[in-house]
Structure 1
Amino acid sequence: MPISADHIRTTLIAYLDTHPEGKPDLAPVLALLDTGAGLTSRKEFRAHATAGAILAGPDNRILHIHHLALDKWLLPGGHLEPEDETLQAAALRELCEETGIPVTSVSPAGDAPIHIDVHAIPANDAKGEPEHQHIDFRFLFRTTSTDISTLQAEEVVDAAWLDVDAMKASALGQRVAIALC
């Protein structure tokens, strides 16, 4: 069964119960849900949900990918697909698709997102997409392997394992550092 608005709302409310400081940034997302916005559709250009993965290796370094279209180093992740049953499952699917890491080598570090971020995505004329917002539900995973076998060439041009210190300036980085202690 595809991800529902109820699943997004439940995940968001549980996250805000743990991280109430996020309420001002995430209140617009709840308002969109209240209006019936289809946040699981990438055609909802006010904002739509995406799922991201933070993958910690055996030495606690974090996997980053160099995204082709955005020409930036990012964490693996992307749009929801109809076959995704949960936001966490979508994050795991994106991680494995983009890096070639087998799903059997990855385990979740918990059930809830470690961070939810709302950020602007620039317009993409080639795809007919205006500038819009991504609501990125980010989940922490662990792996015992650092072997990245096959990058998804149409989206990813490189991958690197970086120290968590490279992320510490952000709320996400601080949460990851604490979770990995």
Structure 2
Amino acid sequence: MSLHDDAALVLKGYESRYEGQKELRGLYLEHLSAHPDAMWKSCTAGHLTASALVIDPERGRVLLTLHKKLGMWLQMGGHCEPGDDTLERAALREATEESGIVGLRPLEGGPVQLDRHAIPAPCHWHLDVQYAALAPAGAVERISEESLDLRWFSYEEAAEVADSSVVRLVERTRAALDGHY
């Protein structure tokens, strides 16, 4: 199965009780249908990306990266690569590369949320599929070349430094964890 096919399956099965998510799901599926190259950076009409919020629920904190190009505190994530066979693995690969943490585990249940955001030309949109990744006990982070900084924030601190999309991702991940445990 191709990454494109996996993305379509993931999105067809994605359900969310949150406002706007059903509409985004439909938009993502339409985009995949219209663009055979929708998984790749070369799709200038917009492309799917994969990200993961690294979370340490035992300590009540999340790991955010200060994005080098945007200067914003964000979850780990980015473009899919030819070796990625699923969106979830792409998100975990990105989270591992950007956090330096080995042994991240995906939060069960699939994506936590979808977030569509404008980016500068030549592309116009990132259609981000956002997961959560559980950090193993004693995880030690290591900053990558893609970051200006990498730091653990309590849930409350994250809400003070991050934009509304990241704040929603933290809140929705916490809600999924509460239903999980």
Query: What range is the shorter-chain TM-score in?
Result: 0.7 to 0.9
Q: What is the match of residue 95 of structure 1?
A: 95
Matches within 5 A, 1:58-73: 58-73=58-73
Q: Distance in 2 between matches of 1:109 and 1:61?
A: 15
TM-score by structure 2 length? 0.83
The amino acid across from 1:25 in the alignment is L
How far is the alpha carbon of 1:111 from its aligned partner?
A: 4.3
Partner SS for 1:40:
coil
Determine whether 1:112 maps to 2:105. Answer: no
**Over aligned residues, Cα RMSD in angstroms?**
2.1
Match of 1:148 in 2: 141
Question: 1:29 maps to which residue?
Answer: 28
Q: 1:72 to 1:137 in 2, by over 3 A?
A: same
1:76-87 alignment to 2 at 5 Å? 76-87=76-87
**Aligned counterpart, 1:38:** 37
Which of 152, 174, 177 in structure 2 is aligned with 1:177? 174
Are the aligned partners of 1:2 and 1:83 in contact in 2 as well (CA < 8 Å)?
no
- Residues 53, 170 of structure 2: 8 Å contact kept: no
Instruction: Could you tell me which runs of 5 or more consecutive residues in structure 1 were left unpaired when the two chains were aligned.
Output: 124-129
Please say if 1:159 is aligned against 2:157.
Answer: no
AA partner of residue 172 (structure 2):
R
The question of whether the paired residues in 2 share the 8 Å contact of 1:164 and 1:173 is answered with: yes
User: Offset of 1:180 from its aligned partner?
Assistant: 3.1
> Partner letter of residue 164 of structure 1?
Y
- 1:131 CA drift (Å): 4.4
Identity %: 33
SS in 2 for 1:118: strand
Measured in 2, the distance between the counterparts of 1:55 and 1:162 equals 11
Give the residue type in structure 1 aligned to 2:98.
E
CA contact (8 A) 1:52 1:137 kept: yes
Aligned pair count reads: 169
Counterpart in 2 of 1:126?
none
User: Displacement, 1:52?
Assistant: 0.5
Q: Deviations 1:69-98 (Å, cap 9, x if unpaired)?
A: 111111111100111111110111111111
